[in-house]
Structure 1
Amino acid sequence: MPGSATEPYDLAVIGAGCAGLAGAVAASEQGLTVALLDASAQIGGQFHRHPAPALGAARPRAPHHDEAAFDGLRRRLEASDIAPLLGHHVWSVVRESGESWAVHATTGADGEEERPVRVRARALLLATGASERQLPFPGWTVPGVVGAGGAQAMLKSGLVLPGRRVVVAGSGPLLLAVASSLAAAGARVPAVVEASGYLRYARHPHALAANPGKLAEAAVHGSALLRHRVRLRTRSAVTAVHGTERVEAVTVSRLDTRWRPVPGTDRRVPCDALAVGHGLVPQLDLATSLGCATRPTPDATRALALDDLQETSVPGVWSAGETGGVGGAQLACTEGELAALAVAARLRGRPALTGSRRALTLRRRRDRMRAFADAMAAAHAPGPGWTRWLTDDTDVCRCEEVTVGGIREAVTDFGARDARTVKLLTRAGMGWCQGRVCGAAVACLAADGGGAVPSSTDRRPLAVPVPLGVLAALDEAGEAGEPGDTRARCLTPRDA
């Protein structure tokens, strides 16, 4: 019986950012029942992060761009029958007997006990986004050092600045957006310090010619920096932070083509905050726990290997957005819609979408933007010489306070040659973040600097930390309890 307590959703979308929203509304408009899960209390993901209504922002959209696209997605969501399950932290997905999946999550408002929830669905769309990649350097644990994306999140959601005089550093196009947003909000930005050079984009003329909008976007950010008198330093990096209780200044060094500091080029720049990030890393924990295959990316991370219609190597599991390779909001929306059409065709038993005009248009748009994303990744790929920034007492794993010297000892004295062995010998990556911050650096140091920045794709049984009480709510078969008991609640389309 449609909508009965035992019937699963047609599609569970995990992630309510650009890709997840586009996929969810497109699938609903195809007649599918859809559950949309996200850990945040609001839709929009990182790109369309908004301040909490309680802040009473007079201009809540001021730090944002491309709001028209988001407004369109939001209106379509509100007009649909989608079940928006916000504040749901998905920690595991397992295949049930038959043709459905069980999505296990926890939910609970701040200060409340976390409660287990299970959502059943016939198909999955993973749109879990990406996180910032951090490369350590002396002083990066000093208060006032924040991620570049973290600084933008503070501005968008909290309407606060990380400091009054903020240096923006690292590598990748996000730096320009962050610097222009901070400057527009009133911060003084002495410099944007980019480790790569933008001339690398010239190696991909076809990708540039096919995406003129990206050049226009870069011009907008560039003009904003000129207007606010922000200096752009390319082929340079922040190699040290000075200060104890708070950032007081940073050392900026010129880099060679392998990202090694050039002797005699150090320059001290006064500031009270540093926003730093070296690109984004796809969030693959849920996907790899399901056994989805991955592929290397041009910037030395890993992304999901997807077919022409966004399906992973695991039948019944699709993916869209940064999980398939970091490429921005427009690409994420295109992939989300394409995946939704593919899911609808599969569940309705229709032929493949090869003859669909809409699917063909989406695929062409996706391929065009994906080519630019690959060019962007190659242009900003970290060079192996970044380890020359480090001293033996530089912290790498902040949670467990493991230093560069400790990791090098594990490699040289105890024969560790991979991140897992280093973890066993030093506890690097065993803290609260489970290696999500330090994992790339640990892997590179374990390889003795022999690669750019390797990225681990170890399969994790739990995608996020989960209370033991939630695990205890599952019976021996891994099933959740019925609604109203002391165990997990199973949500179905009827609950929407």
Structure 2
Amino acid sequence: MADLYDLAVVGAGPAGLAGAVTAAGLGLRVALLDAQPRAGGQYYRHPDPALGARRPDRLHHGWATFARLRRRLESSGVRHFAGHHVWTVVREREVWDVHAVTGDDGDGDRPVRVRAGAVLLATGAYERQLPFPGWTLPGVVGAGGAQAMLKEGLVLPGNRVVVAGSGPLLLAVASSSAAAGAHVPEVVEASGYVGYARRPRALATNPGKLREAVTHGAALLRHGVRIRTGSAVTEAHGADRLEAVTVSRLGRDWRPLPGTDRRIDCDALAVGHGLVPRIELATALGCATVRSGDGTFALALDGDQATSVPGVWAAGETSGIGGAQLALTEGELAARAIATGLNGAPAVTGALRRRRARMRAFADTMVAAHAPGPGWPGWLTDDTEVCRCEEVTAREIRAAVDDLGARDTRSVKLMTRAGMGWCQGRVCGQAVSCLAGGAGAPERRPFATPVPLGVLAGLDPSDSPESPGACGASG
């Protein structure tokens, strides 16, 4: 029989780490599960010790915060399940079963079950990609992917790197890449920064965000990097790999303006249009969602970070994209609320709630300022691959909508296989949804991550998860 914990935290990024160490400090028995071999998540991703990096802190903002969290984790008594890919969470009477798969024992993939009285989902987000002709060429990487390459592998995607897309991550990627030795000719921002000025209170109450922007801006100025707003990379060129990109001016709806194309030579393109909350585990349980200001779906939470399913809480990007500081606050708040309910720990303070509200206001401003415009499909030619896993083109998706009557993402997927490849729609899902009219709700899937059939076959019948329908009903 598996050990029984008070709380299982899924995800060891800022929100999960803050939640786990706070809960342990309040007397709860805590299990922390994460797919990565080391704690930190995507934001605090850091080099493998074997690389011998002497100053990993130079690649991060807030490294001191992470160092404190890591020390607290190591001394907290939290059971850290590193290298564990959680694929489903189900309820068995009054206990939650968290099912994961791991191969870290050297004997291949094996199933693992962790049992707990409550669950905190801190599963983070993944990068939103909007396709354009040539985006599948070698040398084109996600903006977050470029940052991960540098933070973890100490490598750059190329020597001459154009950074493009939309959102504050672009400034961080460009400044860190330039500091690491890359030549960054331009940062190409599809939106701009005027949207922040429409909510001056959110800016005034979050001075740290302004200081961070100034720091990045100064670094870019020092390295001679230009920032072009209201523009986008609308085509990538090359034979065997990337050689150049076309940058076009955009109208207010993000539709390319005729006669504004420019060509920039480069051997790498780091491109991304913000982040998408990773909520597959929660939607499989039937947790309610809300649509964010940028069209993505996030979890609907109450003032204590509780989802609509009793016994399940969430923190960080699952409740809407907001950055590391907000994730840390939400993780702590959720842990305190859970501990109050389980062992009578002191209730969440008003100061903590006010801090969350202040940072959430800025997050909402940020999301609205960089939301993709409806005209971006004007970048696509008919033969542009939208789903790269299944090689489904824009022409095929448009035919499904215009000729076959598809009206939502699921219908398009059934007719074209878009989103049915290895990434399960994480790369193309937002684009397919937009081309399908943007209607519908998040899909409910029994598996949040691919699981080998051998793992499923090897499950003990007493440990087998319930059906997806039962998962939702149990909440």
What range is the shorter-chain TM-score in?
A: over 0.9
Q: Which residue does the alignment assign to 2:468?
A: none
Contact 1:260/1:389 (<8 A) preserved: yes
Is 1:295 the equivalent of 2:280? no
Alignment of 1:399-410 (within 5 A): 399-410=389-400
After TM superposition, give the deviation of residue 215 of structure 1 in Å. 0.7
Query: Is there any run of 5+ residues in structure 1 with no aligned partner, and where?
Result: 481-496
1:300 and 1:455 in contact (8 A); partners too: no
**Whole-angstrom CA distance in 2 between matches of 1:112 and 1:187:** 40
Post-superposition Cα deviations, 1:442-480, rounded to whole Å, max 9, x if no partner, equal 111111xxx5xx685100100000011211223445449
Q: How far has the Cα of 1:59 moved from its partner? A: 2.7
TM-score where L is the length of structure 2 = 0.96
Whether contact under 8 Å (1:440, 1:456) holds in the other structure is no
After TM superposition, where is structure 1 displaced by more than 3 Å over at least 4 residues in a row? 475-480
Classify 1:281/1:6 alpha carbon distance in 2 versus 1 (closer, same or farther; 3 Å): closer
- The match for 1:126 is 121
Aligned with residue 35 of structure 1, among 31, 38, 48:
31
What are the within-5 Å matches in structure 2 for residues 424-443 of structure 1? 424-443=414-433
Q: Contact 2:44/2:66 (CA < 8 Å) preserved in 1?
A: yes
Q: Which of 452, 459, 468 is equivalent to 2:453?
A: 468
- Residues 341-352 of structure 1 mapped to structure 2, 5 A cutoff: 341-349=336-344
- Candidates 69, 72, 75, aligned match of 2:71: 75
2:83 pairs with 1:87 = yes
- Structure 1 position 126, deviation (Å): 0.3
- What secondary structure sits across from 1:103 in the alignment? strand
What do the CA deviations read for 1:10-45 (whole angstroms, capped 9, x no partner)?
000000000000000000000000000000000000
Kindly state the Cα deviation for residue 349 of structure 1 after the two structures are TM-superposed.
Answer: 4.9
The within-5 A match list for 1:61-460 is 61-97=57-93, 99-109=94-104, 112-349=107-344, 353=347, 356=348, 359-447=349-437, 457-460=442-445
Distance 1:296 1:89, change over 3 A: same
* Alpha-carbon distance in structure 2 between the residues aligned to 1:111 and 1:432: 24
Structure 1 residues 456 and 246: alpha-carbon distance in aligned structure 2, compared to 1, 3 A threshold: farther
Tell me how large the CA RMSD over aligned residues is.
1.4
| One-letter amino acid of the counterpart of residue 73, structure 1 | L
- Size of the alignment, in residue pairs? 465
For residue 490 of structure 1, what is the aligned residue in structure 2?
none
Q: What amino acid maps onto 2:377 in structure 1?
A: T
| Residue identity (%) | 71
* Mapped pair 1:56 → 2:52: yes
Which whole-Å CA distance do the structure 1 matches of 2:304 and 2:359 have between them? Answer: 15
Question: What CA deviation, in whole Å up to 9, does each residue of 1:247-294 have, x standing for no partner?
Answer: 111000000110011111100011000000000000000010111101
How far 1:168 sits from its partner (Å)? 0.2
Unmatched segments (≥5 aa) in structure 2: 466-475
Specify the alignment match of 1:487 in structure 2: none
Whole-Å separation in 1 of the counterparts to 2:405 and 2:399: 9
Question: Is contact 1:429-1:435 (8 Å) kept?
Answer: yes
Structure 1 residues 274 and 111: CA distance shift in structure 2, 3 A = farther
CA 1:19 to 1:428, structure 2 compared with 1: closer, same or farther past 3 Å? same
- Note if contact 1:439-1:455 (Cα within 8 Å) is conserved in structure 2: no
* Cα separation, 1, equivalents of 2:350 and 2:91: 31
Does 468-477 or 75-84 show the bigger shift?
A: 468-477
Q: Residues 301 and 455 of structure 1 are in contact (CA less than 8 Å); yes or no, is this contact kept in structure 2? A: no
Structure 1 residues 18 and 101: alpha-carbon distance in aligned structure 2, compared to 1, 3 A threshold:
same
